[in-house]
Amino acid sequence: MKRIWHISDTHCCLDQIEIPENIDIVIHSGDAANHHDPYKNEHEMRRFIERYAALPIKHKLFVAGNHDGSVEKRLITRDNFQEAGIIYLENEAVELEGFKIWGSPHTPTFGTWYFMKSRAKINRVWDNIPEDIDIIVTHGPPLGVLDITNRRGNTQEQCGDRSLLKRILEIEPRAVLFGHLHNGPDIRNSGTKQLAGCSTIFSNGACSTDGKMGSLTSHGNVVSLE
């Protein structure tokens, strides 16, 4: 049994994280940094890499998010992660501790952030997920799974990606790890969930809460897999 610690959306606050015991792999699914300007974002990301690399866990894996613009603009490169002992995935897979893990930073377009694709075309990314993948790591959630957000007029909406959900149900991996949608007023997205008739464990590892940015309000999820 391997213990996988999933975190996401630490937004420059990784130093506040509480580390669980006996973890084999830590996976961060994006939004390690915060600033929109990629050059200011670069400084945030370099601090993150230093702190993430220092976690006392053997295997560390990172997938970028829409707030990690310095990575998309290649101010921070794959080599920066690798030199720190961190596995970086961008629409690709790696085998780790017997698990085949595939990761992607892309989310449906919202605003002017990074690693985004239109909902009409993002399915082309998910179509490339291999059939034999054990763990899928994305920044954003599939539709209807820990993906609630507040809209104007005090309404709530599930805003995950439908095409991602379709591909997950086709493959039925052992776990799907994501973030992007934080907790908020009257909203609880962080945590794990399973869907009826599907064996996949879904994990929203977002550690931040809307309206309380600048501090961590949760510390991710531990997913145990044989």
Q: What is the DSSP string of 141-185?
A: PBTTSS-EEEETTTEEEE-SBHHHHHHHHHH--SEEEE-SS-BBT
Q: Is 122 within 8 Å of 85 (Cβ atoms)?
A: no
Note down pLDDT in tens along the chain; length 226 residues.
999 999 999 999 999 999 999 999 999 999 999 999 999 999 999 999 999 999 999 999 999 999 999 999 999 999 999 999 999 999 999 999 999 999 999 999 998 999 999 999 999 999 999 999 999 999 999 999 999 887 766 788 888 999 999 999 999 999 999 999 998 888 899 999 999 999 999 999 999 998 888 999 999 999 999 9
pTM for the structure as a whole:
0.96
Element housing 89 (H / E): none
Domain boundaries, the chain: 2-225
Arch. (CATH architecture) of 2-225: 4-Layer Sandwich (3.60)
Which of 130, 133, 131, 114 minimizes the C-alpha distance to 64?
114
Q: Collapsing DSSP states into helix, strand and coil, what is residue 49?
A: helix
